[in-house]
């Protein structure tokens, strides 16, 4: 399963095996344990047992820094400052920009009350910046405050970018961190400088602050409770409780092992296509992102289109699962699910769908199956899934040797990457929308966002095992082994070019996790017909796009194997946009590659050990 290290200091470590017991009514049944494995040391790393004191210190620092490596920040700023110090002409240019902006601002301030002088005379917010979008920000003095802030933000962006000689990643880290610090000082974050808050205060007689204080106390109590009890269940957002308002598609668990529950959904049509659909979601999220409330459920939509649907539900690991490896997710996840689907629907190929990291895993499994002559896959569909991580967006800011080592030491102490660390990293990527705007609304305006199924799912976070996440960061993000043909499965390399199965690949236009141009690189990696669809929206909202919901658009085009390559920018400019959801396009594509509908298959297998497994959504999703 894993390549043995050739380093002279390598030691063979037999990992502990832990068998779990699953509650099944009055019976308790053993769950298949993870097999013992040989764990080679990380390439280029010294024996971790020798430096436990160092790792403990780094873990303590991580708690203080929120998981951000101080060394990575220091190296980035040192790179930028040293090159800035040795660039006198660039420093003069930056200083001149500051003087010109200051002069323009004061001239505009003097003319602000003149007839015909409109708002945003110097600089306008970016289209995605909603902080100053309300009409109140068009009046003095608030408009001047906003313009001063935006001018300063623009100046710092120019000062931290475009400096010759600075490493691109260091430049990105400096620009990103400075932007985060500036966002804290936005006039929209303070009651005295936010006209929306002031208006609400006058209208409510200050009750907005009373409600905001109550919101703060409620959030603080929940945060402290979660900190004291890591096993605390997910936060219920409104009425969106798992199994009651979300994850409600009818089905049953037909297989369970140490890592997954496999759900088979009941058919909703008299006849179904003979080829089943297996969905592999990411384990950094709960599976029911694809089975939200009934009107937003991709599972329900697929069943209504005449498909037999299977879904993997990953178990949420804890500290005792620290040694679960990345390849365990392939073997005990994708492979085990395919075996079970094959028992239920024998002799039929499978349409496999992978979402986010689940799509990356599915591409690894598909390449492995192609290498080994396994032809069980009829098609492969990937949703916002990357297979080349050289341009993985702002997530790469957190991925360098210093940062990965720091995260490894933090996870080494805890056994997992906890939920707060995961949520915090994603929130930083969109801090205006996910942090500061929410704090302003909740604590200054005294409001709460209207609960939604997507909010409930987003609050239901998961943990990641130490070993798996370390291997994922190093092999895929840091070393980009999969794209480079260096990724090993069971000791032998795999190549995405071995995949000849037709592919349907979806990217989202405003994705901050898996940028669509990064997802688009699949065209250059596989030897297969690729239908690429680019839909509006972000990483999650762009995927949860049911028919009939307004505001969705998409572009779609099929490139046959061996076709002349078209770059992403050219593709975007030449492929026409269409209104509506992308879901019908995908089911139409699946139907064209499926047989004539026939009687639905049986539900589950006849194996005695599965007879007492629960109905959907199962047990693993509740923890």
Catalogue the active-site residues.
356
Query: To which H or E segment does residue 579 belong?
Result: strand 578-579
Q: Decide if 36 contacts 15 (C-beta within 8 A).
A: yes
In the numeric block, the tokens 């929120």 are attached to: 66
Q: Which residues pair with 277 in a beta bridge?
A: 309, 351
Please tell me the total number of residues recorded for the chain in this structure.
Answer: 623
Q: Decide if 302 contacts 268 (C-beta within 8 A).
A: no
Concatenated DSSP letters for 42-55?
PTT---GGGGHHHH
Q: How far apart are CA 507 and CA 524, in angstroms?
A: 15
Concatenated DSSP letters for 133-168?
-SGGGGSTTHHHHHHHHHHHHHHHHHHHSS-TT--H
Q: Decide if 540 contacts 532 (C-beta within 8 A).
A: no
Strand order in the sheet with 277-280: 251-256, 260-265, 309-314, 277-280, 350-355, 377-383, 503-508, 530-535, 553-559, 578-579
141 preceded by cis ω (within 30°)?
A: yes
Closest to 439 measured CA to CA, from 429, 447, 430: 447
Classify the C-alpha dihedral 323-290-545-575 as positive or negative.
Answer: positive
Supply φ then ψ for residue 531, to 5 degrees: -100, 115
The C-alpha torsion from 559 through 562 and 567 to 570, rounded to 10°, is -50
Residue 25's region, left for phi above 0, alpha for psi from -120 to 50, else beta, is left
In the numeric block, the tokens 């689940």 are attached to: 358
Cα distances (Å, whole numbers) of residue 501 to 220, 387, 606 = 50, 16, 31
Which pairing describes strands 350-355 and 492-493: parallel, antiparallel, or unpaired? unpaired
Q: Annotate 274-305 with b (16+ C-beta within 10 A) or e (fewer).
A: bbbbbbbbbbbbbbbbbbbbeebbbbbbbbeb
Q: Annotate 327-339 with b (16+ C-beta within 10 A) or e (fewer).
A: bbbbbbbbbbbbe
Closest to 311 measured CA to CA, from 285, 335, 291, 327: 291
From start to end of 384-442, where are the E strands? 416-417
Q: How many helices (H) and strands (E) does the chain have?
A: 21, 16
């Amino acid at each position: 399963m894993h390549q043995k290290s050739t380093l002279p200091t390598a030691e063979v470590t037999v990992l502990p095996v832990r068998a779990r017991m699953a509650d099944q009514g009055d019976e308790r049944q053993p769950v298949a344990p993870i097999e013992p494995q040989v764990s080679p040391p990380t390439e280029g790393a010294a024996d971790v047992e020798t430096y436990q004191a160092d790792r403990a210190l780094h873990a303590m620092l991580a708690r203080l820094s929120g998981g951000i490596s101080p060394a990575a920040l220091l190296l980035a700023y040192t790179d930028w400052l040293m090159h800035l110090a040795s660039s006198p002409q660039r420093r003069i240019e930056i200083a001149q920009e500051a003087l010109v902006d200051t002069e323009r601002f004061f001239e505009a301030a003097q003319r602000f009350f003149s007839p015909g002088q409109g708002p945003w005379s110097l600089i306008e917010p970016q289209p995605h910046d909603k902080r100053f979008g309300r009409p109140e920000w068009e009046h003095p003095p608030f408009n001047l405050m906003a313009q001063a802030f935006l001018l300063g933000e623009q100046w710092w962006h120019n000062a931290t970018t475009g400096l010759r000689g600075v490493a691109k990643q260091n430049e990105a880290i400096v620009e990103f961190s400075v932007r985060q610090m500036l966002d804290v000082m936005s006039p929209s974050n303070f009651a005295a400088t936010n006209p929306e808050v002031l208006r609400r205060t006058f209208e409510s007689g200050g009750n907005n602050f009373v409600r905001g204080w109550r919101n703060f106390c409620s959030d603080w109590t929940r945060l402290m409770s979660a900190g004291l009890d890591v096993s605390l269940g997910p936060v219920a957002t409104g009425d969106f409780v798992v199994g009651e308002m979300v994850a409600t598609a009818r089905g049953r668990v037909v297989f369970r092992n140490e890592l997954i529950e496999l759900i088979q959904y009941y058919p909703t049509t008299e006849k179904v296509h003979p080829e089943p659909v297996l969905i592999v979601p990411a384990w950094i999220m709960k599976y029911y992102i694809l089975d939200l409330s009934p009107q937003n459920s991709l599972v329900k939509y697929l069943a209504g289109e005449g498909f037999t649907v299977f879904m993997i539900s990953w178990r949420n690991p804890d500290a005792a699962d620290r040694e679960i490896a990345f390849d365990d997710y392939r073997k005990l996840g994708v492979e085990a699910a395919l075996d079970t689907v094959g028992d239920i629907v024998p002799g039929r190929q499978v349409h496999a769908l992978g979402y986010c990291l689940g799509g990356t895993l599915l591409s690894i499994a598909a390449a492995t199956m192609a290498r080994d002559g396994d032809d069980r896959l009829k098609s492969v569909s990937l949703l916002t899934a990357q297979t080349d991580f050289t341009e993985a967006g702002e997530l790469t800011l957190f991925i360098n040797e210093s940062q990965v080592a720091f995260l490894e030491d933090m996870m080494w102490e805890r056994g997992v990457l906890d939920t707060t660390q995961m949520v915090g990293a994603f929130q930083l990527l969109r801090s205006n929308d996910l942090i500061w705007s929410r704090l302003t609304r909740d604590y200054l305006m005294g409001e709460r966002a209207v609960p939604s199924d997507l909010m409930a799912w987003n609050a239901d976070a998961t943990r990641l095992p130490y070993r798996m996440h370390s291997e994922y960061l190093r092999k895929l993000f840091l070393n980009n082994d999969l794209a480079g043909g260096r990724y090993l499965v069971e000791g032998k390399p795999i190549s995405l070019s071995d995949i000849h199965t037709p592919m349907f690949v979806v990217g989202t236009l405003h994705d901050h996790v898996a940028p669509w141009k990064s997802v688009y690189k699949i065209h250059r990696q596989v030897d297969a017909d690729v239908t690429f669809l680019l839909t509006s929206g972000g990483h999650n909202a762009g995927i949860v796009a049911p028919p009939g919901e307004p505001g969705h658009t998409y572009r779609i085009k099929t490139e046959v194997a061996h076709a002349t390559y078209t770059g992403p920018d050219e593709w975007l400019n030449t492929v026409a946009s269409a209104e509506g959801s992308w879901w019908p396009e995908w089911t139409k594509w699946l139907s064209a590659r499926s047989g004539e509908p026939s009687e639905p298959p049986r539900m589950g297998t006849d194996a005695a050990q599965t007879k007492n497994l629960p109905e959907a959504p199962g047990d693993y999703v509740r923890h």
